[in-house]
Chains A and B, each alone.
Chain A
Amino acid sequence: GENVEQHPSTLSVQEGDSAVIKCTYSDSASNYFPWYKQELGKRPQLIIDIRSNVGEKKDQRIAVTLNKTAKHFSLHITETQPEDSAVYFCAASKGNAGNMLTFGGGTRLMVKP
């Protein structure tokens, strides 16, 4: 089955700096890659996603890039703010019946004011 690895497991940045989180996946049939943000004690919430026919997608300070050949995708957060502090999860899906997601292990991002 699919295996998703995420790095780093923790990331500490200064407010205003950029943060990059990287994920690799094993199944070349995966074609949908969402990123979820989970604040302490809260539910995961989708922040951005990308499909395999797109190389990059941006939404304000957040961007995701995908390299299908290398089977890796990354989350980029620019101009980080304290409210960006949370755990971020990447995931992959083959988009077949059930839309099952395989999640990475998560990255705890800490933005220091």
Chain B
Amino acid sequence: NAGVTQTPKFRILKIGQSMTLQCAQDMNHNYMYWYRQDPGMGLKLIYYSVGAGITDKGEVPNGYNVSRSTTEDFPLRLELAAPSQTSVYFCASSYTTGRETQYFGPGTRLLVL
């Protein structure tokens, strides 16, 4: 199993540009998550999904969108990049309620200039 994979590893965006961060898992997990981690800080939940077609906002959803058309994939969309979105983005997944361990991907480092 590859576990949770993310692409790209690193990206530089100009202000106002758009991009999609890709996330995939091959563990047949129902739940998936997107976090951002600013330098020297903890993890903040952006969006999460409890299954294909079902998504919900986390703590810091503004400026982002998600979709979940399959169990495996959970892309994160930035529509109009802003310098405040400079961060490391982690995708994670877990089984279901009662099996809470979250497994993280390697992260995407995003720099908005």
Contact = CB atoms under 8 A, between A and B. Distances in A.
Contact of B48 (A6, A43, A100): A100
Contacts of A99: 31, 94, 96-97, 99-100, 102
Interface stretch (B16-24, B64-72, B79-87, B103-111): B103-111
Interface of B: 31, 33, 40-45, 48, 50, 56, 58-59, 90, 94, 96-107
Interface of A: 1, 6, 32, 34, 42-46, 49, 89, 93, 95-106
26 contacts: A1-B59, A34-B101, A42-B106, A43-B105, A43-B106, A43-B107, A44-B90, A45-B104, A46-B101, A46-B102, A89-B43, A93-B100, A95-B100, A98-B31, A98-B50, A99-B31, A99-B97, A99-B99, A100-B48, A101-B102, A102-B45, A103-B42, A103-B43, A104-B42, A105-B41, A106-B41
